Amino acid sequence: MPQSRTQRIKTISEFHQLRGLPQPEHPLLSVVDYSKMKRSPLDDASALLFDFYVISNKRGITGKMRYGQQLFDFDNGVLGFMSPNQLLKLEENDAVTNVNRSGWMLLIHPDFLWNTTLAKTIKEHEFFDYSANEALFLSESEEKTLNDIIGNIQREYRANMDKFSKNIIVSNLETLLNYSERFYNRQFLTREKANHQVLNRLEELLNAYFSTDGLISKGLPSVQYIADNLNISSKYLSSLLKVLTGQSTQQHIHEKLIEKAKEKLSTTALSVSQIAYELGFEHSQSFSKLFKTKTKLSPLEFRAGFHYATES
């Protein structure tokens, strides 16, 4: 049974040492072969924290990892991303004892990216904030593409470093991340059944929330509330919705709000202030401003126009 503790790994060199690997050829960058990793105290931890970026492509791994309420199984090859200080919880992790494991881990210390454009743009790749159960399932050709890039990075830092080396490595890292964006976009589209189930659950969740009196006491649901109830990270949910519907999670919440507001404006005699209160707004001006932004009409203009249309 894993002990109830979190293991923090501060340097790439420390990770190599704990996994029984030779010292890294570069102190701030390393490609690790999964098949060469040995069992270590890391396997007895209940959670891991890294002070560096981790990009991993795993195959034949039997361990399970938990994010939120879901377990994710690494029996199949998947690509995962972790940012520094992102907590990774482990369960029944016997990955290092599996003789069939293969794949690689790319370890990148933030200091390596210092004074490069990637130091800022890496934060724009939202998949670093996805959960383990939202990993990227690669096709054979996609995996080959990324393996080739990893090979380029490895060859470059193993060669004699010169003034071009860092820029070439960073360029390859940017290419790898851009391909990952493309492959995630493909996954959002090809995993149609699972993704549309998420859309259906989102619709049901919003309908239930807006059909209760919770709006008065709790206000509008937050993006994090929606994500937690769908057992999905907020960043993954937003990325998925943008690909499938062109709208963010916040826009879906506002769309449902406007739908409910139109219903109240057209079927009740409640004042705008009363409607705003029932929809969770402390100030009716905030409600009116949002309504006009979304519909190009004020609540009163909509009500007047609706009544005119029905009477005609």
The closest of 138, 136, 89, 131 to 236, measured between CA atoms, is: 131
Residue 154: pLDDT above 80? yes
Per-residue pLDDT band at 217 (split at 50, 70, 90): confident
Query: Per residue in 83-112, pLDDT tens?
Result: 998 877 655 444 444 556 789 999 999 999
Residue 223: pLDDT above 50? yes
Per-residue pLDDT band at 67 (split at 50, 70, 90): very low
Per-residue pLDDT band at 21 (split at 50, 70, 90): very high
Answer yes or no: are the C-beta atoms of 56 and 104 closer than 8 Å.
yes
Residue 28: pLDDT above 80? yes
Query: Per residue in 174-205, pLDDT tens?
Result: 999 999 999 998 888 877 667 778 888 999 99
In the structure encoding, which two tokens stand for residue 137, read together?
Answer: 């399932």
Q: What pLDDT, on a 0 to 100 scale, did the predictor assign at position 4?
A: 52
Query: CB-based contacts of 269: which residues, under 8 Å, 6+ apart?
Result: none
Q: What pLDDT, on a 0 to 100 scale, did the predictor assign at position 64?
A: 54
Q: What pLDDT, on a 0 to 100 scale, did the predictor assign at position 175?
A: 97
The closest of 223, 269, 267 to 247, measured between CA atoms, is: 223
Residue 1: pLDDT above 60? no
Per-residue pLDDT band at 70 (split at 50, 70, 90): very low
Query: Per residue in 229-286, pLDDT tens?
Result: 998 889 999 999 998 889 999 999 999 999 999 999 999 999 999 999 989 888 899 9
From CA 3, how far away is CA 108, in angstroms rounded? Answer: 28
Residue 66: pLDDT above 50? no
Answer yes or no: are the C-beta atoms of 78 and 45 closer than 8 Å.
no
Query: Per residue in 107-143, pLDDT tens?
Result: 999 999 999 999 999 989 999 888 766 888 888 899 9
Per the prediction, the chain carries an average pLDDT of 84
Query: Per residue in 263-276, pLDDT tens?
Result: 999 999 999 999 99
Q: What pLDDT, on a 0 to 100 scale, did the predictor assign at position 130?
A: 85
Percent of the chain scoring above 90 in pLDDT: 47
Residue 168: pLDDT above 90? yes
The closest of 86, 87, 91, 88 to 71, measured between CA atoms, is: 91
Q: What pLDDT, on a 0 to 100 scale, did the predictor assign at position 68?
A: 36
In the structure encoding, which two tokens stand for residue 39, read together?
Answer: 């069992």
User: What does DSSP say about strands 64-67 and 136-137: parallel, antiparallel, or unpaired?
Assistant: unpaired
Convert the chain into a string of H (helix), E (strand) and C (coil).
CCCCCEEEECCHHHHHHHCCCCCCCECCEEEEEHHHCCCCHHHHCCEEEECCEEEEEEECCCCEEEECCEEEECCCCEEEEECCCCCEEEECCCHHHCCCCEEEEEEECHHHHCCCCHHHHHHHCHHHHCCHHHCEECCHHHHHHHHHHHHHHHHHHHCCCCCCHHHHHHHHHHHHHHHHHHHHHHHHHHCHHHHHHHHHHHHHHHHHHHCCCHHHHHCCCCHHHHHHHHCCCHHHHHHHHHHHHCCCHHHHHHHHHHHHHHHHHHHCCCCHHHHHHHCCCCCHHHHHHHHHHHHCCCHHHHHHHHHHHHHC
Answer left, alpha or beta for residue 204, where phi above 0 means left and psi between -120 and 50 means alpha: alpha
Burial 111-148 (b: 16+ CB within 10 A, else e): ebbeebebeeebeebbbbbbbbbbbbbbeeebbebbee
Angle between the 165-190 and 192-210 helix axes, to the nearest 10 degrees?
70
Whole-model pTM: value is 0.73
Of 25-39, 93-107, 203-217, 225-239, where does mean pLDDT reach its minimum?
Answer: 93-107
CB atoms within 10 A of CB 268: 12
In the structure encoding, which two tokens stand for residue 48, read together?
Answer: 């891991």
From CA 69, how far away is CA 79, in angstroms rounded? Answer: 20
